[in-house]
Every structure is written in structure tokens, then in C-alpha cells.
Structure 1
Amino acid sequence: MKSERRDGLGRQAQSRIFRDGTYGRRPLVPVDPDLLERKAKRAMSRRAYAYVAGSAGMERTADANRRAFGDYRIVPRVLRDVEDRDLSVELFGRRLDSPLLFSPVGVLELAHRDADLAVADAARELGMPMVISTQASTTLEDCASRLDGSPAWFQLYWSNNDDLVTSLVQRAETSGCDAIVITLDTHMIGWRPRDLDLGSLPFARGEGLAQYTSDPVFTRLVEERAARGDDAPKRRPTLAAIRSLLSMSRKHPGGFWNNLRSPLPRAAVETFLEVFSRSSLTWDELSFVRERTKLPIILKGIMDTEDAHRAVDCGVDGIQVSNHGGRQIDGSFAAIDALPEVAAAVDGRVPIIFDSGVRTGSDVFTALALGAKAVAIGRPYVYGMAVAGAEGATEAMRNILAELDLTMGLAGCATLADITSRSIRRC
């Protein structure tokens, strides 16, 4: 951590907030998770909030993710020296100041105009890894440059075009990323009523496609499609269609006015929809990426012990227990409930990352106690960014880290190694 000592994060954060309060100043972003979300909702468009906050179906999985943390209770231990606390952790040969990561979140331009660059600024300030999304609004090269040596991982959505997969992996390695995170649970987009009721898919408007439109393989596919004339409008244009075309033209590389007259922006959207994912992917094909990079490979979306065993047997370097924050399947069980079983199956052979439903420092503590080595945060930092840009994202993550620090001290844990299964009980 660049600006604060690790051993006093919680107390320093509290002191700063209370000191500012004596002058009538409130926190930059709300500390309470529910209040933070409500304030972010007011700052975002209806379409943007639907995309970020929405989950699959009746959102029972997202609700289960949050509620399940309440089934675990922290066991405080006393008369232990916790004056100096060390929150650092080693992952894939790199020592990190804390166990928190910025989860990959797509189409961040919906939340704030600075999008992924704001997250890079926050991650650099806090010394936390940023997992750069395939569906980013900014190229991974620009994000890596903005991170300026701070840890960067790349999240890979596995396209049905092998050349594109190869190109994305090579770009991540060339850009200095520390790991490849292959997302397994989004080979098709879940049924998300909030987006569906608005008829809103950001990618269809050219949003969140920066990794693709900056890629030489994807560019070639787009040019070939445009040359065939496959995407000429076949229906009378509507006002909504015109708005979508304007959005595509603004987001596509090159000048806006040239793009308006060009078939390329529309061809890029159609090409993306065609090549985005591969539902035929099997375990046997994981070697394809392994043969193309020396970077550690993490499989994201593991919820079953058999899958965990299979992943380790396939030689991956880490797994991420996740149900995509409830965005993919309505009625799935909570990710935190999958964690202890998966951790037992892995038995320390590879590190486990966790995400889904985490909103507070005590949630992070629980995940660490159940077997995670690091915890990835998603919506909370996006809400912070929606409220106050890079500073808001920084503050939202710093608040979670501060609460984790205090929770550790109050529970009698001076280091992350002190957080074990004995640190919690299930009700």
C-alpha cells in the first residue's frame, strides 16, 4: 500500500473519516454497501444500472450469494498480539499488499466515462491486481500502461475463433500481465430480465468491444465481413436504430464521421456476436491455451468438487470459485457454500480465488477462513466508480480492506495465515 501502513489500515480509515466529520465532510462514497448501491443507482442511467446490478432470472442466485454469508459466524479470539497486522499474500510468485483483487467487469463505460482506466488508477493506488476484462471499454495495452507496473491479470472469454484466442493471450503476455483467468461460466449470456426488459445489450451498440476492435485478428474478420456486405440494414430505420448506429460509430476506432459512412462499425458488432464464445469447449481443449503462454492459468467459475479435481489434474495454476455474481443461472447455490468443499478437494495444491456476493471486509474474512487465498471484488468498486470515478473506486475498495483489517484484529488474527476454519462457525 503506497500511502498507508498495512498494520493500521482500519484505524487510519476510521480516524480520517471521523476527523473529516468534525469539519462537516462526509465520506467520498458511502461506507454502507446498500447506501453505496443506492447512490450509484442515482448516478447511473437506467440502462447502465440494469447491466451492472442485474442478475439471472428472479435473481435468486445473487440473493443467495449475499444471504449465505449470514450463515457463517466469526469466532473472536482474545489475548493475542494483533497490534501489527500483515495483510500481504503471495500469488504466482508476486507478493501483494492485500488479498483483494479488482474483478473483471465489462462495459465499464456505462458506469463512468473513464471506464477501465479509472479502475487501473485505483488498482495502482492501492497496489491491488486489476483483472482486465475481455469485454473492456479500454484496450488491455492501455490499461497495462496505466497500471505502470502494478499487477495486471487478463480475463479471457474463450472465443469460437482459435486465432482470436491466440491473439488475445499473446497480447496479454506482451502487455506484462501476470496471469490468464479463463472464465468458464459465460459461454452464453444468462437470462437477465433487467436487460431484456429494456432490450439492452451493450455489445450490440458497440460498447465494451475495445479488446476486439483493437485486435488484428478481429479486425481482419470484420473487414472480410464488411466486404461481403452481410450486414446491410434490411428494415426501415427507427430512432433507436439510429441511436445504436451513432453509438457504434463513436465506439469504433477511427473518425466518427467516417465511421458513420462505413460498414465497419456494424460489421464489428455482428462479428463479435458471432465469435464471442464457444459452448462446445471441453477439458481436452485447455491445453490449447497452455501451449500458447507461459503465464499462470486460472479457471474461473468452478463450483463443483469434481470440476475442481479435474482442473488440478489438467495442470492449471489456480481456480476461482464463482457463480459470476449470480448473473448466469437463476437458482444456483451460493458460491460461498461451494468454497469449503472445493477447498477440501483442492487440498492446497493450487491457490483458490473467490468471488460472488462479497460486499464487506467481514465477507472477505469469511471467504479466507473457508479456503480462499484471495478475494475478487466486483460490483462494490463499480458503484464507487459510478459515484466518484477513480477516487470512488479506490475508496470503495479501501473501505473493504479497512474493515478486513479491523475484523482480523478483533478476531485475534495478525496475519492471513491466522485466519483458518477455526475462525468461523456455520449456524
Structure 2
Amino acid sequence: MKQTEEVKQAFEQRMDHTELMNCMRCGFCLPSCPTYVETGDNEAASPRGRIALMKGVVDGLIEPDEEVEKQLNLCLGCRACEPVCPSGVQYGHLLEEARDILEQHKQRPLHERALRRVVFHWLFPNHKRIRQTVSLLYLYQKTGLKTWVQKMKINQWLPKHLDEMQSILPNVPSPAEMKHRPAFLGAKQPVRKRVAFFSGCLMDTLFMSTNDATLTLLQLAGCEVVIPKTQGCCGALHGHSGEKEKAKELAKRNIAAFESLDVDAIVTNAGGCGAFLTEYQNLFQDEPKWRKRAEQFTGKIKDFSEILVECGFHKAVPLSMPEQMVTYQESCHLRNVMRISQAPRLLLESIDHVNVQELPENQYCCGSAGIYNIVQPELSMKILDRKMKQVQSLQPSLMVTANPGCLLQMRLGVKQAGLECDIRVEHLADVLLESVPQEMKNHGRGGENG
């Protein structure tokens, strides 16, 4: 009982009452919410319903019980409700605050506490440990262990969704490649901008080739690129999972790493990371000095597609690919939080010989949502099934996205549908670099050190 009262008090003290009241209960958010649609018009599984639950706890009308927590955790956090909300309710901020309150007062079993400690406090805040962990994947892929595990059917001991996820992981770079990363890259064209690159944690290890492609594209667009060594994980995973204090620690580290640089922009290539970076100031409501520093930091965050368009990359570089149909699956956070939708399409449409077709229900989440496909596999797969019906109706030969989670989720959907030989799924940066003439890729690397 005491714990319940503490949760109620925390809700009353910490939740934004004005934001809760801004929801007019109009229902415009309902058709845009995947969990509302997939659970059969369950009001509690909608943004409007979840806000009502939060407000009910604040007003003392609803107990903050397991059902409330279940509905909040069932949310993807895709924030598709925000662009369609006539009142401009910042639903994502309310959700993160509520989850943090519940997590700080939750009595988890010892094994769950240990797992969260390892993931949120030991692994992701330390880039060296992430490299070491991903290096184990490299050994798993390159030594024949993966083949042996499949031959002996040991992978069948894993939960089905985890076995499927490990099967579609990209080829991991070697430990040496991950360790020796550049700190500066010169432009390959006349200098148009000086930018800093947010390399991320998994993006600079598991998806390192995509980071390398992004850096090369920035160079070809006429950008000098600075890559601070002291940067780290963006903290999105922590912020979305009730680990706000750790997210603040990571945010402070990144703000300090970038704020002294004389650059035009801080560039990201992962929609989920970019969205969280643009909202760092919301972590520091009670720390005015850090809030001001965060606002200066977030004001410079841009997706790499924006920078390429601003530099006229798509006009200056003759992009070309073999004739094929291409479609673009939007990253929810890139679209709904960073409000970037046209730049990726403009870049794709500038590639000669490709027929870019709009994917039906493009605004609908793919079901990845960070680690949602791991912690909520059943609903995640239902959402993915809906997405794959739209993909199959279009039958593209290439699907492009701009977020690593979306990339893996769509590759999983393609594999489950038996379409691996028919549909490629690639990150926008990799597709653009693939379409650059080989002689331009090989022409001078520009200065670098690392």
C-alpha cells in the first residue's frame, strides 16, 4: 500500500498536468495508433486511453496497478499520434515520464534487475564493452560456429523470435576495424560545410559499414567531418525504458563532447537516435544550466539526408542503379519527431533508372520500436504482418529505410515471407553510396586521422 501511495505521489508531482489536460479526447490519434488497431479497438491501448490512465492516476481515480503498467508498456512509442493531434499533445514525453516513475517504484525479481543492470548500466554506456560484445558476434559468424549451431539445431533452444532475430543480423566487422575509427575526414569536394558526426553505439559497431557509407557521402557532398572520440550512446534505449537518470548521464556526456566544436551541424543517420538527441532538453527540466546547454546542442542535430540535400549532393553527383522498383519505409522517429520525410525521398528519386513507389500505409510502424520486437514479440509480429501485406501488394525489389531497427525488422519480415531472393532491404546511406559512380568513390579520401 505504501508503495502504491508513493507512485501516486510521484505521478502527481512529476507528470505535466497541462499536457495531460491538453488532450481533448477527440480521437484523431486512434487510426494512427498500431496497438489500438491491432488489439481490436481497445481504448486503453490508444494514446487517448493511455493519457486517460495517466490522468486517472494523477487525480487519484485509478490505481497504478499492473494493468496500467501493461498498457503503457504495450505502446510502441512510435509517436504517430503526435503529428495528427490538433492540440499538439507531446504524448512521447508523458509516456517516458510515466514509465520512469513506474520503473523506479517497481520491485523486479533478482534476475530481471541483474539483466537490466547489465544492459543499461554496464554495456551500453561503455563503447569498449559494446565493441567487445559485437566482436563475439564476429567470431560466431566467421569461425563456423554459426553453421555448427544451426547444424546441431542448438538455435532451436532459443525463443523463436530471438532465433529469427539472430539469423538476420548483418555481417559484423572485425575487432580491429571497430577499434580504429577516424576522428576527422576531409571533404572530397570543395568545402560547403563543417559538420560533426554522431556515430552512436550499435551504429558504429554492428552497423559500421552504414556509418562508413554515411561518412563517404558527407565527404562527397563537400563536408569536413569531425568525429569526437568522447561521444557515446545517445541514451534512447534508457529514456524509453524507465532509466531516465542514466539517460541524463549519457546526454551530459554527449553534450560535452560536441559543444566546443565549431561546426554547422551535428549529423546522425539513425532515426531513433536522432529523435532522442533532438529532445535532450526535456531531460533537464530541473537543471536550468544543462537545459540551456542541451538546447544549444539539439539546435544543431540534423539527419544526414537533410545535409546531403542542403549541399546539393543529389544534383552534383550522377547517381545511378540498375532498373528496379524501390520503396521507402519511413522511420517513425525520423518522421514523427524530427519531422523529416521529404529529404530521403528526394535523394532516392534522384537515382537514375529506379522507379520509386510509395508504400501503402507508410506512416504505419513496422513493429521494431527499439527493443519492442524482443519484449513484445507477439504484437510486434502482428504489426509486421500487416506491414508485409502492404510490401507484397507493391512487390518492390528494393526496400529502403533510415533506421537500424526498422532495417532488421523489415529483413525479418522479408525472410518470414520467403522473399529473400526477391526483395533487398537496405539503409538509405548504403543505397546512395551504391549508386555513386565507382571513380568518385575512389577519388581521394581527404585527410583523416583516428
Please confirm whether the aligned pair reaches a TM-score higher than 0.5, indicating the same fold. no
Q: Which has the higher contact order (CA 8 A, sep 6+)?
A: 1
TM-score by length of 1: 0.29
TM-score normalized by the length of structure 2: 0.28
